[in-house]
Structure 1
Amino acid sequence: MENGLKKAIQAAGNKSKLARKLDLTKGYISRWDAIPLKWVKRVSEVTGLPAEQLHPDFQIVTPDRR
C-alpha cells in the first residue's frame, strides 16, 4: 500500500470509515495500491491531509499572478 493511502486510512480511522466518507465501498478502496489521481482532492477534503502528501504526482496548479 502506498504511503499516502496508508496516511488517509489512518486519518479516517480505517478503510471502512474512509470508504463511507467518500461514498464508496470498502472493496473499491481495497483495490487501490495508491489513491487514484481523480480521488486525491476528495480524499484530502475528507481526511484533512494535504493532497500533496496523498499522491506524489498531485500538484495544485495556481494561476501566475503578475
Structure 2
Amino acid sequence: MADEITLMAIKVAGGPAALAKELGIKTPSVYSWRQVPPKRVQAVSKLTGIPPEKLRPDLYEVAA
C-alpha cells in the first residue's frame, strides 16, 4: 500500500489513471507505488503542486 503523501498526490492528480496518463505510463505502474519513484518525483510535484521534499523527504532536503 502506498504511503499517505503518495496517496494524496494520486488523489490531487485526479486518480491513478489520470496521473499515469499525465506521466505517460501505464495505470498499473501507479497502483504499484509505495512511494513516488525517484525518477517521477519532479513530474509528480509539477502536476500536483506538492513539493518534492514532501513527496520524498528521504531524497530532498526541506527548504529552510
Counterpart mapping for 1:33-52 below 5 A: 33-52=34-53
Please state how far the C-alpha of 1:7 moved relative to its aligned partner: 1.4
Please state how far the C-alpha of 1:4 moved relative to its aligned partner: 2.0
The aligned length equals: 60
TM-score by length of 2: 0.81
Please state how far the C-alpha of 1:14 moved relative to its aligned partner: 0.7
Please state how far the C-alpha of 1:26 moved relative to its aligned partner: 0.6
What residue is the counterpart of 1:17 in the other structure?
Answer: 18
Please state how far the C-alpha of 1:56 moved relative to its aligned partner: 2.1
What residue is the counterpart of 1:32 in the other structure?
Answer: 33
Question: What is the root-mean-square deviation in Å for CA atoms of aligned residues?
Answer: 1.3
Name the % identity. 33
Q: Select the structure of larger CA radius of gyration.
A: 1
TM-score by length of 1: 0.79
Report SS of the residue matched to 2:40.
Answer: helix
Report SS of the residue matched to 1:56.
Answer: coil
Letter of the 1:10 partner, please give it.
K
Which stretches of structure 1, 4 residues or longer, exceed 2 Å deviation after superposition?
none
Structure 2 runs not aligned, ≥5 long: none
Task: Please give the alpha-carbon distance, in whole angstroms, between the structure 2 residues aligned to 1:3 and 1:37.
Answer: 16
Task: Please give the alpha-carbon distance, in whole angstroms, between the structure 1 residues aligned to 2:51 and 2:19.
Answer: 16
